[in-house]
Amino acid sequence: MIEQQRVTRYLQFSHLSQFSELAHGIFTRHGGHSQGYYEGLNTSTTLKTATENGDKIANVIRNRKLVLSSLGIADYPAVSVWQVHGADVATVTMQDGWRTDWSHDSYYFRSWEPAAVRKADALITQEREIALALSFADCTPILFYDPVEQAIGIAHGGWRGTARGIVMATIDALQERFGCQPQNIYAGIAPAIGPCCYEVSSMVRDIFMGKQEFDERPIADQYRDRVRKSAQFTTVRMANGRESLRLDVQGTNRGQLLLSGILPEHIETLEICTSCQKEDFFSHRGHAGKTGRFPVVIALRSRERVQL
Ligand SMILES: [Zn+2]
């Protein structure tokens, strides 16, 4: 018998690692079962390219299970959403019937229709022993933890979600649903594309600045001011003299955290560009759209298992 050891490599935030009741990980693409464009630890089932029809479901499910076992939470159900670059926040409770398990094979056989999956770009919960999982390739992953109210969250901030204020919507939801105070919340900004590699059109800047609006799902009025104030654009002159407009999506999300009352000492940014480090992370830009998605996961352990 041959046993394959597929060892993952993942990062953690220093400030979240001090909390023994938390499990969390930002996974590189290393390890895992996927092949081809998705080689390594791809956790998205819905990728398609002109020449490929997506990753093999069986490999994605094995990768997702590998992610949970790497964090020592293989027995936890893991919840996800259909990420649509909006600013809706889904609250996960034991009563919810809108989503089945991220890592459970039978879900994909019994209910393949993506409509069965809730659309949102952030997840929050106070439930213990349930993992929240989203997948990324350049968009900003943001993790949240309030040790006072024992609430966790995860958000997906690409340029559209960031322009719609997904971070602010997540903090509002933590406040409204669980009574979290912003000054108690810890936030972590995981690897995403950096301004070194993220050229955007002037339309993107116009939307952040309020000079243009999305055709659908416009920016909520209460976030417009903070979206404009947080926006971090720079211009780089290229060798051929062309001006290249760059968005710092990690810095913009950090700005929105600060404008929402999160303390600077509670924010940790890993300051990794996924496109510069495309050997380690799936990068939509870095791999010209032919790539997988890497997972970011957070969970609250059971009280009994917390090491005091
Ligand atoms: Zn870069």
DSSP string, 212-253: S--SSSPPPHHHHHHHHHH--EEEEE-TTS-EEEEE-HHHHH
Domain membership of residue 227 (yes or no) is no
Find the domain containing 270 and state its range: 10-195+265-302
Domain membership of residue 132 (yes or no) is yes
Domain membership of residue 220 (yes or no) is no
Average pLDDT for 160-170: 98
Q: How far is the CA of 86 from the centre of ligand 1 (A)?
A: 24
Residue 53 scores a pLDDT above 90: no
Instruction: Look up residue 146 and give its amino acid.
Output: D
Q: What is the pLDDT of residue 131?
A: 95
Query: Among residues of the chain, what percentage have pLDDT more than 90?
Result: 79
Average pLDDT for 261-287: 97
Q: What is the pLDDT of residue 116?
A: 59
What's the pTM?
A: 0.93
Domain membership of residue 41 (yes or no) is yes
Q: What is the pLDDT of residue 5?
A: 52
Q: What is the pLDDT of residue 82?
A: 87
Q: How far is the CA of 237 from the centre of ligand 1 (A)?
A: 16
Q: How far is the CA of 198 from the centre of ligand 1 (A)?
A: 7
Q: How confident is the model at residue 303 (pLDDT cuts 50, 70, 90)?
A: confident
Query: Among residues of the chain, what percentage have pLDDT more than 70?
Result: 89
**pLDDT (tens digit, 9 = 90+) per residue, 234-266?**
999 999 999 999 999 999 999 999 999 999 999
Report how far residue 86's alpha carbon sits from residue 166's, in angstroms, rounded to the nearest whole number: 7
Please state the domain count of the chain: 1
Q: Quick one: CA dihedral 16, 20, 23, 25, positive or negative?
A: positive
Average pLDDT, whole number, for the chain? Answer: 91
Q: How far is the CA of 140 from the centre of ligand 1 (A)?
A: 13
Report how far residue 231's alpha carbon sits from residue 205's, in angstroms, rounded to the nearest whole number: 8
Q: How far is the CA of 53 from the centre of ligand 1 (A)?
A: 28
**pLDDT (tens digit, 9 = 90+) per residue, 67-122?**
999 999 999 989 998 899 999 999 998 876 655 678 887 666 545 554 457 889 99
Average pLDDT for 228-238: 97
Q: How far is the CA of 191 from the centre of ligand 1 (A)?
A: 10
Domain membership of residue 125 (yes or no) is yes
Domain membership of residue 63 (yes or no) is yes
Q: How confident is the model at residue 51 (pLDDT cuts 50, 70, 90)?
A: low
Domain membership of residue 308 (yes or no) is no
Q: Please choose, from the candidates 5, 307, 46, 21, the residue with its C-alpha nearest in 3D space to the C-alpha of residue 186.
A: 21
Q: Please choose, from the candidates 178, 182, 177, 179, the residue with its C-alpha nearest in 3D space to the C-alpha of residue 167.
A: 182
Residue 306 scores a pLDDT above 60: no
Count CB atoms within 10 A of the CB of residue 265. Answer: 8
What is the CATH classification number for the domain harbouring 146? 3.60.140.10
Domain membership of residue 232 (yes or no) is no
SS3 170: helix
